[in-house]
Amino acid sequence: MMLDESRINIEQVQRKPLKEEIFEILHKRIISGKYRPGDWLRQEEIASQLGVSQTPVREALDLLVSAGLAEREPFKGVRVLQLSHEEIAESFGMRLFLECAAVTSAAKMISEGQVAALFQLVDQTKDLLSLNDMSTQWHLNREFHRGVVDAGGNALLTRIYITVMNSFPDWMLYEYMFRHPELLVESLQQEYNEHLEIVKSLAVHDVQKSISETRKHILNLGDELVDYLDVPKDIILSREIPQR
């Protein structure tokens, strides 16, 4: 269970480092729309709100930056990441290319242990269908996709993928669902089903089906970028790789 209080209880933070607890709080605020793209995250202000020193807040802000949720402006501070439609489309196109490439290798090389770990991750998301689950969903979703890419066994591709994933505005999609809870259950159930089909294909080492299921999943994310974030459809289509 993650913290959702405005101030931190010392007994509660014994489970994990303080910077990670603060990261979770800030992350929830971003997903819930309390911080919007472009908003400055004032270190001193946050420390005062949470009743902690500025050091763990600074470390938490570094975690936000490394996760692609925020950016650091020299001599100005840290603000929630703000992306243009072109930047979002470029990130989408790279995800489509890299994940299809990774799953091609993963379908051939994935171990039973890796398959079991992916099934476990998918199962953890099955009942996470409420607004309070959004932060946990975001973490597990990223862990799932990273696990699939890792199973491809290409360290260079993985490093490139991490950079691309950190530029993909998945958190903005969750934030949109937070503001439109009527979409929440259907969207998350679809994500669960698509993830499950990817793992099933990998488990039987079916290369073509693994590629097909992965491509379908990422293309559906592209549709959400259009529907939820108003990214022009033609820009998204221009970044799609041809199907083999």
Looking at the structure, do residues 99 and 194 belong to the same domain, yes or no? yes
Looking at the structure, do residues 96 and 72 belong to the same domain, yes or no? no
User: pLDDT tens digits, the chain, 244 residues: what are they?
Assistant: 334 444 445 444 456 799 999 999 999 999 888 999 999 999 999 999 999 999 999 999 999 999 889 999 998 999 999 999 999 999 999 999 999 999 999 999 999 999 999 999 999 999 999 988 988 999 999 999 999 999 999 999 999 999 999 889 998 998 898 899 999 999 999 999 999 999 999 999 999 999 999 999 999 999 999 999 999 999 999 998 766 5
Picking from 24, 55, 80, the residue at the C-terminal end of a domain is: 80
Q: What is the CATH number of the domain that holds 204?
A: 1.20.120.530
Work out how many domains the chain is built from and give that number.
2
Distinct helix (H) and strand (E) counts, the chain: 11, 3
What DSSP assignment string belongs to 14-63?
GGS-HHHHHHHHHHHHHHTTSS-TT-EE-HHHHHHHHTS-HHHHHHHHHH
Q: What is the CATH number of the domain that holds 70?
A: 1.10.10.10
Looking at the structure, do residues 147 and 177 belong to the same domain, yes or no? yes
205 lies in which domain range? 85-238
Q: What is the pLDDT of residue 75?
A: 87
Picking from 80, 104, 123, the residue at the C-terminal end of a domain is: 80
Q: Contact at 8 Å (CB) between 161 and 98?
A: yes
Radius of gyration of the chain (CA): 18
Q: What is the pLDDT of residue 244?
A: 55
How far is residue 187's CA from residue 41's CA, in Å, rounded to a whole number?
Answer: 29
Tell whether 170 is covered by a domain.
Answer: yes
Picking from 80, 102, 135, the residue at the C-terminal end of a domain is: 80
